[in-house]
């Protein structure tokens, strides 16, 4: 240690840790051993550790070792099937059944389409009983005629037509109640019968069937027929909803009758509400069908072309044109023969 770091007031013997006799003895023994090691010469003549002449050094024997085997401290827990490992076959079975049903439905449609190529489809609407003398007039099958993406739209329009017919039927009884409560309701009662008898078949033929045929064959002409007639049907329903006196029951006649007869007025209010629902449904479906029609890329020129082609292919029109042509030829021949006589 340097003089700067030493303590001038400490005892030099007490401060030196190597002054202890035991430490001095250990140091002396270590130095002797170190000197012996330093003076040892393995190549000296008197070295007793040298191997004697003729002695053989045995080869080193491999150590007898055993592979280390890890012994488990504890036995593994018994195997239990967790919920994540369980395979839920119920969902797969349900999907398989749905696929089989769709395959069977497609096969049935293909078979019906093949049958329609050879056999004429039998009319099935309206579904009348067999004992009825009048049979069905139309063929209707949404799953066969209408593409899958448009079936829901056509069905909604069909149910809207059914709801409208039911409202017209209830309108007869509401008009009768109006006639009983107010003698001025006689004309309304008579017109309600006319509306039911006239509008029930005409609405089906004039705007529902064109829509059905339009989606069935992608006909622009039938789309235009539907738009034109269905718009006027919407206007007529608005008038029925308002309830002009002498035309139909509605909000005007209902509110004026409820003070005279509460029961008749309440019944008329329900019919007015039903006509309002019909009007809202008609305008919504009109816009929806028009949106679908515009997305198909149809146009008015295509509708005119379809109309002209359909008229020329009509057997009735062809028969009338053939008869007219034959009559014109016969007239010209008779006129030419009469001129030759003179």
Structure tokens at 206: 């004039």
DSSP 185: G
Backbone angles phi, psi at 143, to 5 degrees: -70, -25
Going by pLDDT thresholds of 50, 70 and 90, the confidence category of residue 217 is confident
**pLDDT reported for residue 7:** 60
Q: What is the pLDDT of residues 71-110, one digit of tens each?
A: 656 666 665 655 445 556 777 888 888 888 888 877 777 7
In sequence order, what are the beta bridge partners of 138? 125
**pLDDT reported for residue 282:** 96
Q: Does residue 2 have a pLDDT over 80?
A: no
Residues 283/234, Cβ–Cβ less than 8 Å: yes
Q: What is the pLDDT of residues 98-147, one digit of tens each?
A: 888 888 877 777 766 665 554 557 888 888 888 878 888 888 989 888 98
Residue carrying structure tokens 């003549």: 45
Question: How high is the mean pLDDT of the chain?
Answer: 75
Q: What is the pLDDT of residues 239-272, one digit of tens each?
A: 999 987 778 888 998 998 888 888 999 999 999 9
Q: What is the pLDDT of residues 164-191, one digit of tens each?
A: 999 999 999 999 999 998 888 889 999 9
N residues, the chain: 342
**pLDDT reported for residue 311:** 46
pTM for the full model?
0.59
Q: What angle do CA 277, 281, 284 make, to 5 degrees?
A: 140
């Amino acid at each position: 240690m340097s003089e700067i770091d030493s303590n001038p007031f400490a005892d030099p013997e007490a401060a030196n840790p190597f002054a202890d006799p035991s430490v001095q003895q250990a140091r002396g023994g270590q130095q002797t051993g170190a000197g012996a090691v330093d003076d040892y010469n393995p190549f000296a003549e008197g070295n007793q550790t040298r191997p004697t002449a003729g002695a053989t050094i045995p080869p080193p024997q491999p150590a007898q070792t055993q592979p280390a085997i890890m012994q488990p401290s504890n036995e593994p827990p018994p195997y239990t099937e967790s919920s994540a490992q369980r395979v839920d076959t119920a969902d797969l079975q349900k999907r398989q059944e749905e696929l089989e049903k769709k395959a069977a439905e497609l096969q049935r449609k293909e078979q019906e389409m093949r049958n329609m190529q050879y056999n004429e489809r039998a009319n099935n609407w309206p579904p009348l009983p067999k004992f009825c003398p009048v049979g069905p007039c139309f063929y209707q099958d949404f799953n066969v005629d209408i593409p899958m993406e448009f079936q829901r739209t056509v069905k909604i329009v069909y149910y809207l037509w059914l709801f409208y017919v039911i409202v017209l039927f209830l309108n007869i009884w509401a008009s009768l109640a109006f006639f009983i409560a107010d003698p001025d309701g006689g004309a309304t009662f008579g017109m309600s019968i006319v509306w039911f008898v006239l509008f029930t078949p005409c609405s089906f033929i004039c705007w529902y069937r064109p829509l059905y045929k339009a989606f069935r064959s992608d006909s622009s002409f039938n789309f235009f027929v539907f738009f034109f007639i269905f718009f006027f049907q919407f206007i007529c329903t608005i008038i029925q909803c308002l309830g002009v006196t002498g035309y139909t029951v509605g909000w005007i006649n209902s509110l004026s009758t409820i003070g005279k007869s509460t029961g008749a007025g309440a019944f008329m209010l329900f019919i007015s509400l039903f006509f309002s629902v019909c009007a809202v449904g008609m305008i919504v479906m009109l816009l929806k069908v028009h949106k679908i029609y515009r997305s198909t890329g149809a146009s008015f020129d295509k509708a005119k072309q379809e109309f002209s082609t359909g008229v020329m292919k009509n057997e009735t029109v062809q028969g009338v044109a053939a008869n007219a042509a034959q009559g014109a030829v016969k007239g010209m021949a008779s006129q030419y023969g009469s001129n030759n006589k003179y």
